[in-house]
Amino acid sequence: MPQGKGKGGGPIVSPYQKDTSGGSGPYKAHYTTDPGLPDHTIYAPKEAPKDVSMPLIVWGEGACAAQGTAFVNLLTELASHGYVVLANGAPGTPGSAFPSDRSKTTSPEQLTQSMDWVTSGKDAGKYGTIDKTKVAAAGQSCGGAQAMRVSGDPRIKLTAMFNSGGMGKLGGGKGPAFAAKDLKHPIIYLLGGTGDLAYAGGSAEYKSLPATVPSILFSMDGAGHGGTYGEIHAGKFGKAAVAAFDYILKGDAKAKSSLFPGEGFKADGWDYEFKNWDNFKPS
């Protein structure tokens, strides 16, 4: 059963499978909250890894809903590979797209609040050593639009659009919107094929990126707007996301070899394109 529909139709999250594994990575992860960062959900390794500096991911929810556990399998999977993920919205029913009060929504400013909370150095250190120089803005659907809106922040080194792209001012926020045409850092798109309501916009945005911006387009026909986020470890969307984040933010050689030329992803059913990576050097 779909876990809620976004504007324009189509499920936001694929049918949810409860995953108690803590992710497939080397650091078993979970989610929690912190009074220092209200209205957010924090995903991190259960035990802060020693001598490991973890990149930060700030996450916008599908439908811009204030539900920090809608993508629990995906965000736990990322955290298990050595990331701290700060998601907009307090925890709700895991895998459900919306909070009980559907009038509650999030804003791009909450992504900035997440970055500020980490860079302030006050409380975030309890979750491990967070590398403030390696930050990704990411989100699904409307949450991807929020991620794009804050991508002019110089702290951000990667923008990740999950079933998103070409959504203009969707996502709210104050002030002028940052747009893909202004990007100078890498961007990745993960789309669900022609049945994904974000497919046309995301594909067109990918094609119109600045000529020098490193970018990847994953698209899986038949996955739709809900992707595979509800599956254990977030399925093939989770696998692709980990590889892209690991190379771009960590410079992981194994991830790089899987991404270029990407034959393994093509075998997984992805339509896969990339451009402008020859001169890229991970931060």
b/e for 145-175, b at 16 or more Cβ within 10 A?
bbbbbbbeeebbbbbbbbbbbbbeebbbbee
Q: What is the pLDDT of residue 168?
A: 74
Architecture of domain 29-275: 3-Layer(aba) Sandwich (3.40)
Q: List, for residues 264-277, the tens digit of each pLDDT value.
A: 999 999 999 999 99
How does pLDDT run across 165-209, given as a tens digit for each residue?
988 777 777 766 788 999 999 999 999 999 999 999 999 999 999
Average pLDDT over residues 102-129: 90
Averaged confidence pLDDT in the chain:
93
Quick one: pLDDT band at residue 7, thresholds 50, 70, 90?
A: very low
Contact 60, 88 (CB under 8 A): yes
Q: Record the pTM.
A: 0.95
Q: Is the pLDDT score of 5 beyond 70?
A: no
DSSP SS3 for 87 = strand
Which DSSP string do the residues of 13-51 spell out, in sequence order? SPPP----S--SSSS-EEEE--TTSTTEEEEEESSPPTT
13 pLDDT band (50/70/90 cuts)?
confident
- β-partners of residue 41 are 87
The pLDDT of 43-67, averaged and rounded, is 96
Stated as kind and residue range, the H or E segment containing 88 is strand 84-88
Summarised one tens digit per residue, pLDDT across range 66-94 is: 999 999 999 999 999 999 999 999 999 99
